[in-house]
């Protein structure tokens, strides 16, 4: 059976609007009959994937998720620019440009390999997650076309790669509707974060004053706005199928361990950036429990089915988590072969110990 690594994390955020719905309100969910704040798994995964911890630790092994690779190919060809430099937004002309009509035609041919494009456009209808290896072969093809002026040959359009070192694809998966053979099953499952207590959304009524308004003719505000917010202590659950992660990375144990370590650090240090400039809602996790074992994984969200109402919300939430885990283990047997915890509330354990534990081979 596969080995699983599970994270149980408690993170407190001050007044904030981390993850908004279509009306701009903080996302919520009803749990145990009471309203809770919610942060979607998509929001969490993007924040972790784009974090400096992830980007620096796994440089060269992170893909690009976009609808516009074909658009960038067209830009590189039509303007005589290096493809990789175009992706990084810092390209200068380095060669003779390809005829604009041909550049569009060739870029559509390349983009169609990865999915359906919009009519007469190299832009995809849906986002595609490209692995680092696929980005390289696209870049090589663009360079060849730019040098020769000749269209891509059929054999050169063999651009998809089932074997790659794209850690973000290996962790969070990808789906290519037109080429299912190149799909990747996600090795990391992320639950939506929910507050352990009930919440009431509040309104922030604010005004902005015009610096050049002397107040002689008009003393009113130049702008009036309203924004909803809330604060809360979130429980987050993440489950990693370590064996599947290694398999997705072509058997590279070392890269898988680096990826797990980078993800674990991002989980406790990085949150969604929604309305960050308005609320400065940066927070580190106060508690993290990491478990490893081959037993069937399980979340501990049931610990908060009944909303926590204790004055010491954090202390009570940590106690509930531990008690729930002990009772689950008493009924089902141990759910792991080992665990490590970090408790900033009590000042025990350490992040380094947790990272060493989860990344050990």
Has residue 165 got a pLDDT over 90? yes
DSSP string, 118-143: PTTSSSBSS-EEE-HHHHHHHHHHHH
For the beta carbon of residue 349, count every other beta carbon within 10 angstroms. Answer: 17
34 within 8 A of 324, measured Cβ to Cβ: no
Q: How far apart are CA 214 and CA 114, in angstroms?
A: 58
Residue 90's pLDDT is 81
Q: Residue 236: enclosing H or E segment and its boundaries?
A: strand 223-241
Residue 295's pLDDT is 95
Share of the chain above pLDDT 70, in %: 98
Has residue 249 got a pLDDT over 70? yes
Range in 19-28, 66-75, 124-133 the model is least confident about:
19-28
Has residue 207 got a pLDDT over 70? no
pTM of the model: 0.91
For the beta carbon of residue 319, count every other beta carbon within 10 angstroms. Answer: 14
pLDDT digits (tens, 9 = 90+) for 306-317: 999 999 999 999
pLDDT digits (tens, 9 = 90+) for 254-293: 999 999 999 999 999 998 887 776 777 889 999 999 999 9
Highest mean pLDDT, choosing among 179-183, 213-217, 253-257: 253-257
Range in 112-116, 143-147, 190-194, 216-220 the model is least confident about:
216-220
238: confidence class by pLDDT, cuts 50, 70, 90? very high
Torsion sign, CA atoms 144, 150, 153, 157: positive
Residue 316's pLDDT is 98
Has residue 120 got a pLDDT over 90? yes
Task: Work out the average pLDDT over 219-239.
Answer: 83
Has residue 107 got a pLDDT over 90? yes
223: confidence class by pLDDT, cuts 50, 70, 90? low
Average pLDDT, the chain: 92
Place of tokens 């505000």: 221
Q: Please give the C-alpha separations between residue 186 and each of 48, 172, 225, in angstroms, as whole numbers.
A: 15, 4, 41
Range in 38-42, 88-92, 138-142 the model is least confident about:
88-92
Range in 51-55, 141-145, 222-226 the model is least confident about:
222-226
């Amino acid at each position: 059976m596969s080995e699983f690594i599970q994270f149980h994390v408690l993170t407190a955020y001050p007044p904030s609007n981390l993850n908004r719905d279509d009306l701009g309100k903080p996302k919520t969910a009803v749990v145990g009959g009471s309203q809770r704040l919610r942060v979607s798994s998509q929001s969490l995964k993007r924040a972790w994937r784009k974090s400096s911890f992830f980007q620096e630790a796994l440089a060269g092994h992170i893909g690009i998720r976009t609808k516009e690779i074909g658009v960038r190919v067209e830009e590189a060809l039509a303007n005589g620019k290096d493809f990789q430099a175009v992706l990084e937004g810092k390209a200068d002309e380095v060669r003779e440009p390809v005829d604009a009509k041909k550049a569009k035609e060739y870029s559509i041919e390349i983009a169609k390999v990865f999915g359906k494009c919009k009519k007469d456009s190299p832009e995809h209808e849906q986002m595609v997650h490209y692995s680092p290896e696929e980005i390289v072969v696209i870049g090589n093809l663009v360079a060849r076309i730019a040098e020769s002026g000749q269209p891509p040959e059929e054999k050169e359009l063999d651009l998809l790669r089932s074997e790659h070192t794209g850690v973000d694809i290996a962790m969070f998966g990808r789906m290519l509707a037109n080429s299912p053979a190149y799909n990747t099953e996600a090795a990391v499952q992320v639950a939506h974060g929910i507050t352990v207590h009930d919440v009431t959304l509040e309104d922030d009524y604010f005004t902005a004053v015009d610096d050049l308004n002397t107040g002689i003719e008009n003393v009113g505000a130049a702008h009036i706005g309203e924004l909803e917010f809330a604060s809360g202590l979130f429980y987050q659950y993440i489950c990693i199928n370590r064996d599947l992660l290694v398999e997705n990375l072509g058997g590279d144990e070392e890269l898988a361990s680096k990826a797990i370590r980078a993800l674990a650090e991002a989980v406790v240090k990085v949150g969604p950036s929604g309305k960050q400039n308005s609320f400065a809602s940066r927070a580190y996790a106060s508690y993290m429990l990491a478990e490893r074992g081959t037993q069937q994984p399980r979340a501990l969200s049931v610990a908060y089915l009944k909303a926590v109402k204790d004055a010491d919300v954090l202390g009570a939430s940590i106690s509930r988590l531990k008690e729930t885990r002990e009772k689950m283990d008493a009924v089902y047997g141990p759910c792991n072969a080992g665990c490590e915890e970090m408790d900033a509330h009590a000042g025990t354990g350490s992040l380094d110990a947790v990272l060493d534990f989860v990344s050990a081979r």
